[in-house]
Amino acid sequence: MKIIIVGCSEVGQTLAAKLNDDGNEVTVIDVQAEKVRAVSSRYDVMGVVGNGATQATLQEAGIENADLFIAVTDSDELNLLCCMIAKKESDCHVIARVVNPAYSEETAYLKERLGLAMVINPDFATAEEIARVLLFPSALKIEPFAKGRVELVSFRLQKDNLLVGLSVKEAMSKLKSKVLICTVERGEEAYIPSGDFVFAEKDVVSIVAPKREAKEFFTKIRYKGHSIKDAIVAGGGAITHYLFEIMERSGIAFKVIEKDEALCEELATRFDKVTVINGHAGDKNLLVEEGVSETGAFVALVKGDEENILFSMFAKEAGAEKTVTKISRIDYDSVLSKLDLDTVVCPKNITSDIILRYVRATGNAMGSNVETLYNIIPDKVEAVEFIVREGSPIVGKPLAELAFQRNVLVASILRGKTVIVPRGQDTIEVGDSVVLVSMGRSLSDITDALKE
């Protein structure tokens, strides 16, 4: 596909890299020449310096031949304007990044009136991910598949965990649990483990399972978890706003610490059950005074990555049972894996996953549609959900008879309302929702998982 991206911020850079890796023809636009040069040279994509809301710039970028136009600048208004002009100049699909809650409430209207294929809100998507882990705090990450009936759950093995020292085969035989171990992250290495793979302390393990089975699995392995009754949030920006909206009926008592007085007043007016504190989340005395050592969760959502990391590390050391840390910059991934943080959320990765899923589904005319895509281990392992259509060559054949590529795993099959944890004699049928986990390759169609 020919794709134009307006905005070379972190989100734009991540999109350019991932879409280019998927074999798309990518052009980036930004008013800052140095940003365009950096992105175009680093990811081997075309670059145009200019205003993405002007006809001349769009024509220079090749808008008349574009299949997809994505506006991800830091301005909601500019993104919407860019998309309006792009629609006038081309029949391409258009996607706008919109953060302001006022616009987000009118998503359906914007899509209909402006002809947008998608309105994506990174802050709302991030808040949804945070909400999932607060409701299931044993997990580092949770990703729902198959309309919420199947979950991909990642967690870190504690020293005394039942799995440590057991092989995958031994663990599954002992536990008799309907889950599938799909990945293990050990330091900087990633594995789709075989039956002989032996678990070790500090491994980050990802399982795929029906929702109820996932919770039973954690009980069986005696994983030290807890239910969260209260949480402290550092930062009162848009993500916090959306998080409180999502969690309004959760029963969790929230405190938010925000240094901007106007934001505090806004939050206090909108969320009468939230305790709003005007102060700096970096003030250790304030955190201790507000009960950071006894809190069920500490969520760091201020603007600076360094501050979020330091706040979370202090909260963890002080005794907070769960930490959630927002990170924006790409170059922290390797450092974060060495820190004792719990859940790390990255809006740019969440955004790029959603857009990449749309691109793969739109560009696919074969035997299956991409429904959900999630990077289990960024740039290493991904999970993709497909809906199988008529004409797919995999239909009706036992999995044991299909020649799958190396490091590809069929993680789950949803048939109607029945979740199947796949075994060799199971088959894939038309209409099934199938989750595939792959390492080292991108899957746009379920047949990409098969050997040629």
**Residue 365: pLDDT band with limits 50, 70, 90:** very low
pLDDT surpasses 80 at 106: yes
pLDDT digits (tens, 9 = 90+) for 385-426: 888 888 888 899 999 999 999 889 999 999 998 989 898 999
The structure tokens listed for 207 are: 């399982």
Q: Which helix (H) or strand (E) holds 108?
A: helix 107-114
Between 132 and 374, the higher pLDDT residue: 132
Q: Which helix (H) or strand (E) holds 289?
A: helix 284-289
CATH superfamily of 230-345: NAD(P)-binding Rossmann-like Domain (3.40.50.720)
The structure tokens listed for 305 are: 């990555």
Distance CA 344, CA 300 (A): 10
Secondary structure tally for the chain: helices H, strands E: 15, 22
Q: Are 155 and 138 in contact (CB under 8 A)?
A: yes
CATH superfamily of 2-120: NAD(P)-binding Rossmann-like Domain (3.40.50.720)
At 110 the pLDDT is 83
Q: Are 367 and 393 in contact (CB under 8 A)?
A: yes
Coil, helix or strand at residue 366: coil
Listed in order, the ranges of the chain carrying CATH 3.30.70.1450 are 127-220, 361-449
Between 389 and 260, the higher pLDDT residue: 260
Mean pLDDT of 346-354: 87
Mean pLDDT of 217-234: 87
Range of lowest pLDDT (45-59, 109-123, 177-191, 364-378): 364-378
DSSP 76-120: HHHHHHHHHHHHHH-S-EEEEE---HHHHTTHHHHHHHHT-SEEE
Mean pLDDT of 208-233: 86
Averaged pLDDT score across all residues of the chain? 90
pLDDT surpasses 60 at 367: no
pLDDT surpasses 90 at 445: no
pLDDT surpasses 80 at 361: no
pLDDT digits (tens, 9 = 90+) for 118-141: 899 989 999 999 999 999 888 888
Coil, helix or strand at residue 258: strand
Distance CA 184, CA 198 (A): 10
Listed in order, the ranges of the chain carrying CATH 3.40.50.720 are 2-120, 230-345
Mean pLDDT of 216-220: 88
* 113 Cβ contact partners less than 8 Å away, ≥ 6 residues apart: none
Pairing of strands 180-186, 204-210: antiparallel
Count of C-beta atoms within a 10 Å radius of residue 7 = 25
Q: Where are the beta strands (DSSP E) in 348-432?
A: 368-377, 381-388, 408-415, 418-420
Distance CA 217, CA 138 (A): 11
Between 365 and 94, the higher pLDDT residue: 94
- Report the percentage of the chain scoring pLDDT > 70: 96
**Residue 332: pLDDT band with limits 50, 70, 90:** low
CATH topology for 361-449 is Alpha-Beta Plaits (3.30.70)
Range of lowest pLDDT (283-287, 338-342, 443-447): 338-342
Candidates 320, 327, 319, 324; CA nearest to 349 is: 327
Candidates 358, 449, 362; CA nearest to 411 is: 449
CATH architecture of 127-220: 2-Layer Sandwich (3.30)
